[in-house]
């Protein structure tokens, strides 16, 4: 007898598509490596995307300009580019500027202009304004301006490369096999309720924070309104953008440790809090009350990165998949274990983390100054 499920699945395909692919690889000793293996891994999850977005974040790739802020900016045309460059020269010292190298790739069409600028910050900032706050304010000013320019990467010694296409096609277009970094993340997009355009591809970034995401943030509206009180402006037309700003607010501005930040965005259920010891219960109640508007509702798996650190986190009941693998100094995070084992078949160990519990990879020690700058000099982390 014909099975009911075949009415909607005439090919008999039993693969479960949970939308979007995410992948991260970090050398916790700080050794830089080519992105070829990461490109191969994300391409292995090709069927999770639909060609409407792909991207990569790379840390440690600009050692010759490690002390400068690297702005990657998209422009619609040369007129927008000239206007934005005037803004940059007014508010920064432009040390170097160049078009991001690309190659002709048949699948990548209707491309914007993509340039990178290595910037130094003026010395005469107001006393109550930090350099990072200055950078965030200027990024928001450009992204909300009248001209069609978007800063999609603004950290030191790191960068985002993204656009409309499958991730392996974007890697070919941006010639990513020519770069090296000690930490790479990659995303293949399957947009569901947001538009597909170059700025809306993942990763999303502010300063050296980057976020790639599989899932849906149904709390986007209240998350966005809360963040706007602190000067963040959501301009990329997709829900994931709020995660990058939330992490920057909680960890940089409010000085919360990563483990506590995870308990804000993926907060324990109230009945779970009630079973905690009194001291922990008091803390969790306070977090739920103060930061209730930053709780992320909906299914999600994310990889969050910054200098010296890579974090994997899922929603509280693991409605989106995340697998962890370790081999020597290498830490891998992926939507599918198959992608990890494709490039590292003999893992030392692999596991699936608990919902709402972060997996943290940190640099074991400070690498050579020419490799990276910034980041915490901490030991490698595991599931917390």
- Per residue in 255-312, pLDDT tens? 999 889 999 999 999 999 999 999 999 999 999 999 999 999 888 899 999 999 999 9
Position 287 scores a pLDDT of: 95
185 three-state secondary structure:
strand
Q: Which residue has the tokens 């090709």?
A: 46
- Residue 344 annotated in active site: no
Position 8 scores a pLDDT of: 46
Q: Say whether pLDDT at 372 is over 80.
A: no
Task: List, for residues 89-112, the tens digit of each pLDDT value.
Answer: 999 999 999 999 999 999 998 899
Q: How far apart are CA 149 and CA 137, in angstroms?
A: 15
Q: What is the mean pLDDT of residues 124-131?
A: 88
Position 98 scores a pLDDT of: 97
Six token digits for residue 158: 């790191």
Position 43 scores a pLDDT of: 94
Q: What is the pTM of this model?
A: 0.88
Among 60-64, 114-118, 214-218, 328-332, the range scoring the smallest mean pLDDT is 214-218
Six token digits for residue 134: 């200055």
Position 371 scores a pLDDT of: 39
pLDDT band at 199 (very low <50, low <70, confident <90, very high): confident
Which parts of 164-278 are beta strand (E)?
Answer: 180-181, 183-188, 204-206, 209-215
| 16-256+297-362 to CATH, choices 3.60.20.10, 3.40.50.300, 3.40.50.2300, 2.40.30.10 | 3.60.20.10
pLDDT band at 191 (very low <50, low <70, confident <90, very high): low
Position 196 scores a pLDDT of: 74
Q: Which residue has the higher pLDDT, 19 or 372?
A: 19
Position 3 scores a pLDDT of: 45
Q: How far apart are CA 234 and CA 144, in angstroms?
A: 9
pLDDT band at 366 (very low <50, low <70, confident <90, very high): low
* Percent of residues, the chain, with pLDDT higher than 70: 89
Position 18 scores a pLDDT of: 57
Counting every residue written for the chain, the total comes to 384
Q: How far apart are CA 249 and CA 284, in angstroms?
A: 18
371 three-state secondary structure:
coil
Position 262 scores a pLDDT of: 92
Six token digits for residue 22: 């995410």
Q: Say whether pLDDT at 227 is over 70.
A: yes
pLDDT band at 1 (very low <50, low <70, confident <90, very high): very low
Position 361 scores a pLDDT of: 95
Q: Which residue has the higher pLDDT, 59 or 364?
A: 59
Q: Say whether pLDDT at 193 is over 80.
A: no
Ranges of H-type helices in the chain: 36-43, 78-91, 131-143, 167-173, 220-228, 241-247, 258-265, 270-274, 278-290, 337-343
Task: Please report, for the chain, the start and end positions of each structural domain, with discontinuous segments joined by +.
Answer: 16-256+297-362
Six token digits for residue 26: 């970090």
Mean pLDDT score across all residues of the chain: 87
Position 166 scores a pLDDT of: 92
Q: What is the mean pLDDT of residues 3-29?
A: 65
Q: Say whether pLDDT at 5 is over 50.
A: no
From 20, 39, 68, 186, the catalytic residue:
20
Position 233 scores a pLDDT of: 87
Task: List, for residues 24-64, the tens digit of each pLDDT value.
Answer: 999 999 999 999 999 999 999 988 888 788 899 999 999 99
């Amino acid at each position: 007898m014909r099975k009911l499920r075949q009415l909607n699945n005439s090919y008999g395909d039993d693969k479960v598509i949970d939308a979007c692919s995410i992948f991260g690889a970090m050398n916790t000793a700080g050794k830089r490596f080519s992105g070829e293996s990461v490109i191969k891994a994300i391409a292995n999850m090709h069927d999770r995307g639909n060609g409407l977005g792909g991207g990569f974040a790379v840390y440690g790739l600009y050692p010759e300009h490690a002390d400068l802020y690297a702005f990657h900016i998209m422009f619609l045309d040369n007129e927008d580019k000239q206007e934005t460059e005037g803004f940059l020269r007014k508010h920064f010292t432009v040390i170097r500027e160049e078009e991001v190298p690309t190659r002709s790739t048949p699948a990548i069409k209707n491309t914007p202009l993509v340039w990178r600028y290595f910037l130094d910050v003026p010395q005469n900032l107001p006393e109550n304004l930090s350099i990072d706050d200055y950078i965030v304010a200027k990024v928001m000013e450009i992204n909300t301006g009248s001209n069609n320019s978007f800063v999609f990467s603004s950290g030191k010694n790191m960068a985002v490369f993204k656009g409309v296409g499958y991730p392996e096609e974007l890697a070919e277009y941006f010639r990513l096999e020519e770069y090296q970094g000690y930490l790479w993340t990659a995303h293949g997009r399957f947009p569901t309720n947001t538009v597909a355009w170059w700025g809306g591809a993942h990763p999303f970034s502010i300063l050296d924070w980057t976020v790639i995401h599989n899932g849906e943030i149904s709390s986007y509206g209240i998350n966005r309104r809360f963040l706007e009180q602190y000067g963040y402006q959501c301009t990329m037309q997709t829900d994931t953008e709020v995660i990058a700003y939330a992490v920057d607010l909680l960890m940089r501005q409010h000085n919360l440790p990563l483990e506590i930040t995870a308990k804000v965005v993926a907060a324990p259920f109230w009945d779970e809090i009630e079973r905690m010891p009194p001291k922990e219960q008091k803390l969790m109640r306070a977090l739920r009350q103060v930061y209730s508007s930053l709780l992320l509702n909906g299914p999600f798996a994310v990889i969050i990165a910054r200098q010296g650190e890579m974090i994997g986190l899922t929603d509280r009941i693991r409605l989106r998949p995340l697998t962890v693998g370790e081999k020597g100094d290498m830490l891998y995070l992926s939507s599918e274990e198959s992608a990890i084992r494709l490039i590292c078949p003999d893992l030392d160990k692999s596991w699936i983390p608990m919902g709402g519990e972060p997996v943290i990879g940190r640099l074991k020690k400070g690498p050579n100054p020419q490799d990276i700058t910034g980041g915490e000099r901490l030991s490698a982390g595991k599931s917390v």
